[in-house]
C-alpha cells in the first residue's frame, strides 16, 4: 500500500497518457495499478497487502478531494496546509479548471443569510489578501449596476441599503461599500454608458484565474499534497469497523459510524485504482450529484453536521444539478468602459444579465447568456446559431440597453461555459449546498460566485471536518 503526504517519498509516475499535464508550471503525479507494499510515514504504519486484485486498496490518504477546479484546488490547498495529514486531489480531465468570468464579486445580490452572501464576502477579502501576498494579477476595477427605469432604481436603492449592513469597512476598503450615481455623474466618468442611475460597488474586481490556480497547485505540492489527473471516480464505498464495507455491517448502513473511511475506485489510462481515504470532499462541479449518488449509504439515522456543530437527524440529502450553458462574446473594437458594467439582474437571480467585464489587459468581454442544456460536455459554439450575424444582432440589442455604442460587427462568440445550477428553469433562487457527514463533504451548485468564494469555501469545509 502506498501513502501520500509530505512525510512519504513522492510517488514515481506510473502513467502520463496523451501528454497529460496540469496546464500549470507545477507537476502532477500519476496513479496506476501497482502491487502494494509497506511504507512507514510520519502519520502511520500501514500493513502490507499480500496480493493485488482490482479490489485491493493500493493507496491510502487522509484527504481525498474530487474535482480540480478552482474550488477543489482551494480545498486541497487548505487541507494540505494543515500539515497533519496527507492530501490527494484528483480530476478526470487532463487539466485543471475551466474558463470563468474572472470577477471578484462583493456579495451584493443574494439573501443576507445565504451561504452565497457569507462566503462571497469572506472570500473576497481572502482573495485580495492572497493576490497581494503572492503577486497574483488582479485589479480592483469597481462595478456599476445600471438601472434604466424607476423600478430598477427602487431595486438598486434596496441593494445599496442591504450592502451598508453587510459589508463592513476594512483596512483595504474603509469607504462605503456602495453608493449611487446620477445620470450626470455617470456620464462624467463613463460617457458611453446609458442609464438613469447606477449603483457603484468599489469592492468588485478581477483576477487572473490561471495564475491563481497555478499558485494553489504549487502550494498543494509545497505542503506535501499531490494532484493526479485523468483519474475518474467510478465508485465510493463507506468502510465500516475493521475496513468492512458498509453493506457488511449489521443493521442499516449508516454514515455516522465512528470509524470513518472510504474506498474510492477510479478509472485511469493504466487501469483501475483503489484509494482508501479517511475523508472525501466531493467538489466535482457538474458531476457532483453523480459522485454523491455513488455513496449508496443513506438512511434516516445519518447525522449531518453544519459548521456551527449543530446536528440534524436527517439523511445525507441528495440533490440534482441542472446544466446551464452560457456564451461569452469578445469585442474586437476599442474598450468603451474602464470598469465592469452590469444591468439589473434577473428577479430569480438565475443570472446577473449579459454584462461587460474587462480582463487585465483592458479588453472587453460580454456575457454570459443563459441556456439550459441536457449535455454537460458540449462547450462548442455553433457558428450557424450562436456565432451567426443574426445572433450577434440579438446580443448587441441586449448590450445596447446600457452601452449603445457597441457595434455588432465588432462582437464575436468567444467561448462557452456550463454552470451547475440547483435551480431549474423558472425555479426560485437556490443557495450553495454544502453538507458533511462522518468525513464525507458534498458540495452542490457551486456556481457564481464560486470563484470569489473559493478560499472561503475551503475554510468552511475545513471547519466542517475539524
CATH for 157? 3.30.9.10
Q: Is the bond leading into 98 cis (omega within 30 degrees of zero)?
A: no
Q: Are residues 73 and 216 in the same domain?
A: yes
Q: Are residues 384 and 408 in the same domain?
A: yes
State the pLDDT at residue 389. 87
Q: Are residues 446 and 312 in the same domain?
A: yes
Domain assignment present for 112: no
The DSSP bridge partners found for residue 280 are 64, 440
Domain assignment present for 195: yes
Domain assignment present for 130: no
Q: Are residues 12 and 88 in the same domain?
A: yes
State the pLDDT at residue 39. 23
Domain assignment present for 426: no
CATH for 289? 3.50.50.60
State the pLDDT at residue 100. 76
- DSSP SS3 for 408: helix
Query: Mean pLDDT over residues 65-75, rounded?
Result: 97
* pLDDT tens per residue, range 337-360: 999 999 998 776 677 889 999 999
State the pLDDT at residue 255. 45
Number of structural domains (the chain) is 2
State the pLDDT at residue 219. 97
State the pLDDT at residue 384. 81
Q: How many CB atoms lie within 10 A of CB 50?
A: 8
State the pLDDT at residue 135. 98
Q: Are residues 219 and 299 in the same domain?
A: yes
Q: Are residues 297 and 442 in the same domain?
A: yes
Domain assignment present for 229: yes
Q: In this structure, what are the phi and psi dihedrals at residue 331, rounded to the nearest 5 degrees?
A: -140, 120
With a CB cutoff of 8 Å and minimum separation 6, the contacts of 174 are none
State the pLDDT at residue 346. 77
Q: Are residues 302 and 444 in the same domain?
A: yes
Domain assignment present for 30: yes
Inform me whether the pLDDT recorded for 186 exceeds 70. Answer: yes
Q: Are residues 330 and 312 in the same domain?
A: no
Q: Are residues 145 and 196 in the same domain?
A: yes
CA angle 103, 207, 394 (to 5 degrees): 40
State the pLDDT at residue 30. 65
* pLDDT tens per residue, range 21-54: 344 444 566 666 554 322 223 333 222 232 334 4
Considering the entire predicted model, what is its pTM? 0.86
Q: What does the mean pLDDT of the chain come to?
A: 83
Q: Are residues 331 and 346 in the same domain?
A: yes
Inform me whether the pLDDT recorded for 292 exceeds 70. Answer: yes
More confident residue, 84 or 449: 449
Q: Are residues 311 and 435 in the same domain?
A: yes
More confident residue, 394 or 313: 394
State the pLDDT at residue 386. 85
Domain assignment present for 151: yes
Inform me whether the pLDDT recorded for 456 exceeds 80. Answer: yes
State the pLDDT confidence band at 291, using cuts at 50, 70 and 90: very high
State the pLDDT at residue 382. 85
Q: Are residues 314 and 327 in the same domain?
A: no
Domain ranges, residue 290: 2-99+212-318+431-465
More confident residue, 155 or 295: 155
State the pLDDT at residue 53. 46
Domain assignment present for 227: yes
CA angle 173, 454, 268 (to 5 degrees): 160
Amino acid at each position: 500500500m502506498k501513502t501520500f503526504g509530505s512525510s512519504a517519498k513522492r510517488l514515481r509516475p506510473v502513467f502520463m497518457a496523451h501528454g497529460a499535464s496540469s496546464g500549470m508550471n507545477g507537476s502532477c503525479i500519476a496513479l496506476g495499478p501497482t502491487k502494494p507494499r509497506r511504507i512507514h510515514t510520519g502519520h502511520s504504519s500501514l500493513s502490507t497487502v499480500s496480493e493485488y486484485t482490482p479490489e485491493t486498496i493500493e493507496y491510502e490518504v487522509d484527504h481525498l478531494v474530487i474535482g480540480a477546479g478552482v474550488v477543489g484546488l482551494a480545498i486541497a490547498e487548505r487541507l494540505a496546509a494543515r500539515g497533519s495529514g496527507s492530501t490527494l486531489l484528483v480530476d478526470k480531465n487532463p487539466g485543471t479548471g475551466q474558463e470563468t468570468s474572472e470577477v471578484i464579486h462583493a456579495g451584493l445580490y443574494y439573501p443576507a443569510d445565504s451561504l452565497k452572501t457569507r462566503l462571497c464576502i469572506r472570500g473576497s477579502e481572502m482573495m485580495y489578501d492572497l493576490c497581494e501576498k503572492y503577486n497574483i494579477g488582479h485589479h480592483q476595477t469597481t462595478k456599476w449596476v445600471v438601472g434604466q427605469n424607476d423600478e430598477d432604481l427602487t431595486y438598486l436603492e434596496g441593494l445599496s441599503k442591504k450592502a451598508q449592513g453587510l459589508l463592513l469597512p476594512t483596512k483595504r476598503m474603509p469607504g462605503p461599500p456602495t453608493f449611487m450615481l446620477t445620470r450626470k455623474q455617470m456620464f462624467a466618468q463613463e460617457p458611453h454608458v446609458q442609464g438613469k442611475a447606477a449603483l457603484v460597488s468599489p469592492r468588485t474586481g478581477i483576477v487572473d484565474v490561471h495564475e491563481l490556480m497555478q499558485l494553489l497547485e504549487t502550494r498543494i505540492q509545497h505542503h506535501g499534497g499531490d494532484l493526479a489527473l485523468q483519474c475518474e471516480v467510478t465508485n465510493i464505498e463507506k468502510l465500516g469497523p475493521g475496513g468492512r464495507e458498509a453493506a457488511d455491517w449489521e443493521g442499516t448502513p449508516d454514515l455516522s459510524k465512528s470509524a470513518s473511511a472510504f474506498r474510492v475506485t477510479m478509472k485511469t489510462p493504466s487501469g483501475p485504482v483503489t484509494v482508501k481515504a479517511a475523508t472525501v470532499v466531493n467538489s466535482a462541479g457538474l458531476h457532483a450529484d453523480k459522485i454523491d449518488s455513488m455513496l449508496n449509504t443513506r438512511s434516516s439515522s445519518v447525522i449531518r453536521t453544519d459548521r456551527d456543530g449543530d446536528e440534524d437527524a436527517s439523511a445525507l440529502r441528495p440533490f440534482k444539478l441542472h446544466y446551464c450553458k452560457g456564451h461569452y462574446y469578445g469585442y474586437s473594437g476599442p474598450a468603451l468602459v474602464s470598469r465592469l458594467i452590469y444591468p439589473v439582474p434577473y428577479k430569480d437571480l438565475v443570472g446577473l444579465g449579459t454584462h461587460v467585464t474587462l480582463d487585465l489587459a483592458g479588453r472587453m468581454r460580454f456575457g454570459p447568456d443563459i441556456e439550459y442544456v441536457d449535455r454537460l460536455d458540449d462547450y462548442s459554439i455553433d457558428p450557424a446559431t450562436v456565432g451567426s450575424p443574426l445572433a450577434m444582432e440579438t446580443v448587441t440589442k441586449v448590450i445596447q440597453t446600457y452601452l449603445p455604442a457597441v457595434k455588432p460587427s465588432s462582437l464575436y462568440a468567444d467561448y462557452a461555459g456550463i454552470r451547475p445550477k440547483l435551480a431549474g428553469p423558472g425555479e426560485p433562487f437556490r443557495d450553495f449546498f454544502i453538507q458533511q457527514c462522518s468525513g464525507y463533504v458534498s458540495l452542490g451548485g457551486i456556481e457564481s460566485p464560486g470563484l470569489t468564494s473559493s478560499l472561503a469555501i475551503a475554510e468552511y469545509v475545513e471547519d466542517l471536518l475539524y
